[in-house]
Amino acid sequence: MTADVSPPLRPATLEDVAAVAGVSRATVSRVINGATTVDPALRRVVEEAVATTGYVPNRAARSLVTRRTDSVALVVSERERRPVSEPFIGRMFSDPHFGRVVAGLMDVLRPAGIQMVLMLADDEGSRDQLLSYLRQGHVDGVVLISSHADDPLPGLIHDTRLPAVLAGRPRRPSPLTYVEADQRAGAQMAADHLAALGRRRIGTVAGPQDMPAGQVRLTGFLDALEQHGVGDVVTAEGDFTQSGGASAMRQLLKERPDLDAVFIASDLMALGALPVLLRAGKDVPADVAVVGFDDSNAAVACDPPLTTVRQPVEEMASEMARLLLRQIGKPGDGPAPSVVFHPTLVHRESA
């Protein structure tokens, strides 16, 4: 323990450190920024001065001259909430999926010293506000999580020329880098599994056909099944909600009461569908095998626990962060190539 230095009322500046170390501001700056052209002895002196003064760089000042901010925006884009009366925002925020993405991003961003600024775009006003924020260069890049297919934001963000990465392939083709899980491959794994189980009277609760994920999971499933010689598959469309899954399941059961397997395009819909099955006197998996998609919390909440297609959400988010950092690092290169992850089948009890 050394004697206390009298506590600075004003945070130490580069100037203060320079004075203590007996060098110029520039030298201190060089040490701070790890320039190699500094005499080792001087470097030590400066480092000591930094320690005694408790110096921390002022981001605003630095950012003003470097035009970097060492922060990125995490933009959550949601469809406009229809009734303005609806009290609170953020369907996305209360989705555990969102938290998993944040965790994955932070895992990479934090060690890099990059801060995350959380932004929400859920109507035209907030979108304009967001864009002007981005255009003014208050962040070095953006991660976009969009919950709806017709989102104009990928295009608008691309126009800002800011490095950006999308969570999931956008519906309209975009030059922006995206990271997604191979939905088609996932659906195939579900089909293969069901076929391997010897099931032949198969149905599927599809997702909304106006969302890419909904479409691809359905066609991927049907195509794979066809390869297994199963051509006659009953289909009902759900809306990715629990109750949507329930009514789609009812419909399926009416059309094909002797069903022996069903692929449900999201765990949440499966959570709604399972009780319908049980109520109809079907045992899962004995009578009807069920495979879900996502490996979300809902999968374990189901009874029986759901065999489901897992997307490595955290890993994908970390990859988004890495891709973003890479683009920020060398701005000339344009968007980084997109990355597609491979899903895996998680075995539980429903199939």
Partner DNA sequence: ATGAAAGCGCTAACAT
Partner DNA sequence: ATGTTAGCGCTTTCAT
Chain residues that interact with DNA, rule: CB under 7 A: 10-11, 13-15, 23-27, 29-30, 32-33, 37-39, 41-42, 55, 57-58, 61-62, 64-66
Q: Judged by CB under 8 A, how many residues of this single chain contact its own copies?
A: 63
82 binds, among DNA, its own copies, none (CB under 5 to 8 A by kind): none
Q: Hey, which residues between 90 and 119 contact its own copies (CB under 8 A)? A: 90, 92-96, 98-100, 102-104, 106-107, 110, 115-119
From CA 76, how far away is CA 97, in angstroms rounded? Answer: 12
**CB closer to its own copies, 138 vs 172:** 138
Instruction: Provide the minimum distance between the beta carbon of 339 and its own copies in the complex, in angstroms, as a whole number.
Output: 18
CB 117 within 8 A of CB 72: yes
Which has the closest alpha carbon to 182: 220, 144, 149?
220
**CB closer to DNA, 8 vs 152:** 8
> Is residue 275 close enough to count as binding its own copies by CB under 8 A?
yes
Evaluate the CA torsion angle 263, 269, 270, 275 in order and state its sign: negative
From CA 52, how far away is CA 151, in angstroms rounded? Answer: 51
Beta bridge partners of 345: 309
Evaluate the CA torsion angle 192, 96, 248, 223 in order and state its sign: negative
CB 297 within 8 A of CB 270: no
Instruction: Provide the minimum distance between the beta carbon of 116 and its own copies in the complex, in angstroms, as a whole number.
Output: 5
Instruction: Provide the minimum distance between the beta carbon of 344 and DNA in the complex, in angstroms, as a whole number.
Output: 44
**CB closer to DNA, 10 vs 82:** 10
> Is residue 182 close enough to count as binding its own copies by CB under 8 A?
no
23 binds, among DNA, its own copies, none (CB under 5 to 8 A by kind): DNA
300 binds, among its own copies, DNA, none (CB under 5 to 8 A by kind): its own copies
DSSP 12-51: --HHHHHHHHTS-HHHHHHHHTT-S-S-HHHHHHHHHHHH
From CA 161, how far away is CA 209, in angstroms rounded? Answer: 31
User: What is the number of helices (H) and of strands (E) in the chain?
Assistant: 13, 12
Q: Which residues bind its own copies (CB under 8 A)?
A: 11, 54, 56-61, 63-64, 69, 71, 74, 87-90, 92-96, 98-100, 102-104, 106-107, 110, 115-120, 126, 132-133, 135-138, 242-243, 268, 271-272, 274-275, 278-279, 296-298, 300-305, 314
